[in-house]
Amino acid sequence: MSKEDPRQYEKYTKSDAEREKLHKRTLTVVIMSQIFGGAGLAAGITVGALIAQDMLETTRYAGLPAALFTLGSALSAFVVGRLSQRLGRRLGLTIGFVTGGIGAIGVIFATTFNIIWLFFLALFIYGAGTSTNLQARYAGADLANARQRATAVSIAMVSTTFGAVAGPNLVEPMGKVAEFINIPSLAGPFILAAVAYILAGLTFFFYLRPDPLFVAQAIAEEESRQADAAGIPVDRGHTSIQRIGIIVGSIVLVLSQMVMSSIMTMTPVHMRDHGSGLSAVGLVIGLHIAAMYLPSIVTGRLVDRIGRHRIVIASGITLGISGIMAAYAPGESLFWMAFALILLGLGWNFGLISGTAIIVDSTNVYTRAKTQGSVDVFIALGGSAGSLLSGIIVANASFSILGFIGMYLALLLIPLIFWVRLKEKKLAQDKMRMTS
């Protein structure tokens, strides 16, 4: 289970009070790290497409940067998930964040010396920070019980708001810092990203002790021993994993990410083409990111209280409305673009927390981290596809068409939930017939 001495976990396996105390401490560490991580992820979202547009002198490939760092996010999600399962959350998340920081440094060099291949490679590496920032939400849920899981995930996410909202609004100040040290102004946000991601990694490395995943495994082992002693059969293998839940949770997460990434990626380009300045773009993206993370604490409680499926339906409806608004909102209107992007962020928030809760419900501690990493691979690939195709769609059609496509994809979440409810009802009926 761990190279550390397993005896250090004994007090957590035998005392609910100690376990709860450690759960709260873990959430505190996750909050500290997520504040830094949020600032790091904002750089690529806000100026990545603008740098590509300037370097390539075309809008057609403006979605490529987001596609690249989400592809890098996909690879790192797989690696970080496997590392976390084997080495624990602490080392897995540390490696992911530091790698993202190195990628941000590479973007700075590439932009400064106008090296396009290095810019693309560095963005790919920078994506490690994006996926690690998302995977950190699982660390907060390792020690949560079934009634606390969505709330624990939401607490981890809401803390990202502080850094994520500050990041886009620091575009101009960081641009001035960049110019002061003789590098292009658009590279400025990546200076912030490099520092933020590395600090996030170091926070996990020094403070996430004992590792919550290893403690959760120790608790599960103790419960298994007690069940064995009482003669109760315990399933520690894969059969306890609810495969339907993993599939449904994955689809919810992937569709939410695809819709959000595609519209968000092209919004800065769309606004700048209609005469908006960097400060206006930064404000809209900042409000969008606030809507992605700030409602999390309320969303988590709603998911735990009224159910995962209802919030998934709310996600589909909210994302659908945001797609329509993006299609019709004037590109020069700060108010309407901000409103559309706020709804886009809120719909993504509903989808991410409800989908994550479904995934956590459908896994156990023996396979959880690597399963979560694999799911996050598909989330990143969905986001990458959305980002890449968004530039092509806007270049060959329009931003309005992109909004309509996003709406149609979002509304697919509603029939998905009706399907899974029918499937669960059928499985329950089959189980009753077998036992009768």
Count of positions (residues) in the chain: 436
- Let me know if residue 3 belongs to a domain: no
- Let me know if residue 430 belongs to a domain: yes
pLDDT band for 219, please (50, 70, 90 cuts): confident
Q: What is the pLDDT of residues 324-335, one digit of tens each?
A: 998 888 878 889
- Let me know if residue 225 belongs to a domain: no
Q: What is the pLDDT of residues 231-263, one digit of tens each?
A: 665 555 444 447 888 999 999 999 999 999 899
Q: What is the mean predicted confidence (pLDDT) over 8-32?
A: 87
- Let me know if residue 5 belongs to a domain: no
Interacting residues of 134 by C-beta distance below 8 A, sequence separation 6+ = 73, 77, 376, 379
State the total domains in the chain.
1
Count the neighbouring beta carbons within 10 Å of the beta carbon of residue 180: 10
Ramachandran area for residue 355 (φ above 0: left; ψ -120 to 50: alpha; else beta): alpha
- Let me know if residue 208 belongs to a domain: yes
Q: What is the mean predicted confidence (pLDDT) over 180-201?
A: 90
d(CA 123, CA 68): 6
- Let me know if residue 323 belongs to a domain: yes
- Let me know if residue 97 belongs to a domain: yes
Contact 268, 279 (CB under 8 A): no
pLDDT band for 358, please (50, 70, 90 cuts): very high
- In this predicted structure, what is the pLDDT of residue 2? 44
Count the neighbouring beta carbons within 10 Å of the beta carbon of residue 400: 17
- pTM for this model (two decimals): 0.76
Average pLDDT of the chain is 85
Residue 346: give the domain boundaries: 11-219+239-435
Q: What percent of the chain has pLDDT over 90?
A: 32
- In this predicted structure, what is the pLDDT of residue 90? 94
- Let me know if residue 160 belongs to a domain: yes
Question: CATH number of the domain that 142 lies in?
Answer: 1.20.1250.20
